[in-house]
Amino acid sequence: MRTSIHNSIVWFLFMLSITGTAYAQQYNFFNLSVNEGLIQSQAGGITQDKQGHLWISTQGGVSRYDGKRFVHFTTKEGLPSNTVFSLACDSRGNMWFGTDKGLTLYNGRKFITYTLHPQPQDNIVSQLAADSSGNVYALARGKLFRFNNGTIENILVNADASLPVTAIAVKPSGTLWCGTLNKGVFIQTAKGWTPLSFPGADNNGFRVRRL
């Protein structure tokens, strides 16, 4: 009986210590603004590269933060525009920037800008996503593009050229998710495009802005 009581007390104290530790955990948050060195206050995107640096896109260029200081990239360094809406790091460690003048690759040495459409107004790249296979997906004025090994391909979601794409995301599994205008969410698999159903929601008229 005494052994049983002793074991119960030990177990209770053990569980109490775990609970106390969990509740005692604190997360420190701090702001990175122009006061700390951010190039511009209107930040649109953030991602982390293979070295652990944070990259922040703004309407005044791009800032890279190493935990202590900022390094800035603008048209002076090779960007086609200082208006940068989105960014992504691909599987090779290259940085990609979605600007109002096209899709830009930065390989650590130079900037290379790709035009997605002959019309300048259709080269506004609002969202980017990259997968582990080296694909970089760009969303520009409702159209989805895939870039890999120097080639750019226009991707039709659900094989529908009239369906505007409004949001993109690559999940940890590598699956591409696409939000559309009034048709909900589609997932790209090896078998093609699969619509994602939500309980109680009709995909018709279902607009997705972010994933």
Is the per-residue pLDDT at 165 higher than 70? yes
Digit-coded pLDDT (tens) for 83-94? 999 999 999 999
Which candidate, 45, 157, 137, places its Cα nearest to that of 90? Answer: 137
Token pair of 64, please? 């890279």
Mean pLDDT of all residues in 70-80: 96
Backbone φ and ψ for 119, nearest 5 degrees, come out as -85, 125
Digit-coded pLDDT (tens) for 12-42? 444 444 444 444 567 777 788 888 889 989 9
Mean pLDDT of all residues in 157-169: 93
SS3 (DSSP) at 57: strand
Q: What is the pLDDT of residue 59?
A: 95
pTM here?
Answer: 0.82
Q: What is the pLDDT of residue 208?
A: 78
Distances (CA, A) of 152 to 47, 97, 101, 115, 178: 23, 15, 16, 9, 18
14 sits in which H/E element? helix 2-24
Contact 182, 207 (CB under 8 A): yes
pLDDT interval class at 200 (50, 70, 90): low
Token pair of 170, please? 């690559």
Q: What is the pLDDT of residue 205?
A: 61
